[in-house]
Amino acid sequence: MTTTPRDLQMDWLKCFVAVVDAGSLASAAGEIHRSQSAVSMQIKKLEDALGQRLLERSARKLSLTPEGQTLLGYARRILDLHAEAQGALTGDELTGRVRLGVPDDYAQKYLTPVLKRFAPRHSGVEIELICEQSTSLIPRVASGDLDLALVSRDHARRGTLLFHEPRVWVGSPEFETWRRDPLPIAVYEDASLARRVAIHSLAQQGRRYKVVYHSSSLAGQIAAIESGLAVAALTQCSAPPHLRILGSEQGLGPLEPMEVAVYRSRESRGAKAVDELQDLLTRTLRLAA
């Protein structure tokens, strides 16, 4: 005898996605303003309806089962379409423009998932994306030229801290540039925090170095590494897999991680589209680290 599948309730799906995004039942409960026991019950109802276990719970973390991973994509699409339909029919559809800045390092790994969730829900919002180094983006936010920016924080009290991004030394396995003395390095512009971190690390080790290449772009840094011209300190998320991560075996010490934060302009306060994107950036990327 075949069992008729039960309909999936919106509340179940909302709780499921909230738990995945928040990383725990307790955190999700705060996000959606329900008790932890109520969230747990909604997840159980969803699992019972599907006849599948969706989440694996342990003392330290919560993870998706293969079935949960499959459902997650569908759940996001259902909730996004539901929100879009509500906005279109109630006249509450979000509109406006958001000027958003991000360095090349963070765009693909961290920004793309956020925009993939934001765009279907808020198709009436125009996003103007500017890719520059953090040292350029931060003053543009301060001046009101940008509404939001995802940047490497230059001051501990500024912006909203999201996570710490490791930095790593990267070289070409083909040329083994790290064997040279003095060590040839590729760096960003003079004001760059990444440049200061790299040079400070070398000074701490007493490693002789020579700056042989300057570039404000990630592509330029990678080109210098691939050609055997230099080694460079990159964010871990931007290091291409075909290049080699270098460490103590190559005579290179650790690097301080970057504090990744979201900055917002004063001029954009009260703008609902900016509010929504900032909220999604914060909720999503605090889980990414």
Read off φ and ψ for residue 140, nearest 5 degrees: -70, -35
CA dist 15 and 11 (Å) reads 6
State in words which class domain 99-160+262-287 has: alpha beta
Q: Which residues contact 202 (CB under 8 A, 6 or more apart)?
A: 183, 185, 209, 253
Tell me whether residue 185 is exposed, middle or buried, using C-beta atoms within 10 angstroms of its C-beta: 0 to 12, 13 to 18, 19 or more.
Answer: buried
- pLDDT greater than 70 at residue 117: yes
CA dist 84 and 91 (Å) reads 11
Which two three-digit tokens encode residue 68? 């949960």
Q: Which CATH architecture has domain 167-256?
A: 3-Layer(aba) Sandwich (3.40)
Confidence of residue 280 (pLDDT cuts 50, 70, 90): confident
Q: Express each pLDDT in 186-237 by its tens digit.
A: 998 878 888 899 999 999 999 999 999 988 889 999 999 999 999 999 999 9
Pairing of the two strands 167-171 and 244-246 = antiparallel
What's the confidence (pLDDT) of residue 4?
61
- pLDDT greater than 70 at residue 79: yes
Mean local confidence (pLDDT), 243-247 = 95
- pLDDT greater than 60 at residue 73: yes
Read off φ and ψ for residue 164, nearest 5 degrees: -105, 130
By C-alpha distance, which of 51, 79, 62 is closest to 28? 62
Confidence of residue 82 (pLDDT cuts 50, 70, 90): confident
- pLDDT greater than 80 at residue 69: yes
**Percent of the chain surpassing pLDDT 70:** 94
What's the confidence (pLDDT) of residue 289?
46
Terminal CA-to-CA distance of the chain, rounded, Å? 47
Q: What is the mean pLDDT of the chain?
A: 88
For 240, the 3-state DSSP assignment is coil
Q: One fold for both 99-160+262-287 and 167-256?
A: yes
Mean local confidence (pLDDT), 165-189 = 94
What's the confidence (pLDDT) of residue 59?
61
Q: Express each pLDDT in 119-168 by its tens digit.
A: 877 878 999 999 999 989 999 999 999 999 999 987 766 788 888 999 99
CATH number of 10-89: 1.10.10.10
**Residue 51: Cβ within 10 Å count:** 10
Confidence of residue 1 (pLDDT cuts 50, 70, 90): very low
Mean local confidence (pLDDT), 87-99 = 78
Each domain of the chain, given as residue ranges in start order, spans 10-89, 99-160+262-287, 167-256
What's the confidence (pLDDT) of residue 194?
87
Which two three-digit tokens encode residue 275? 């509010």
What's the confidence (pLDDT) of residue 76?
83
Mean local confidence (pLDDT), 266-289 = 83
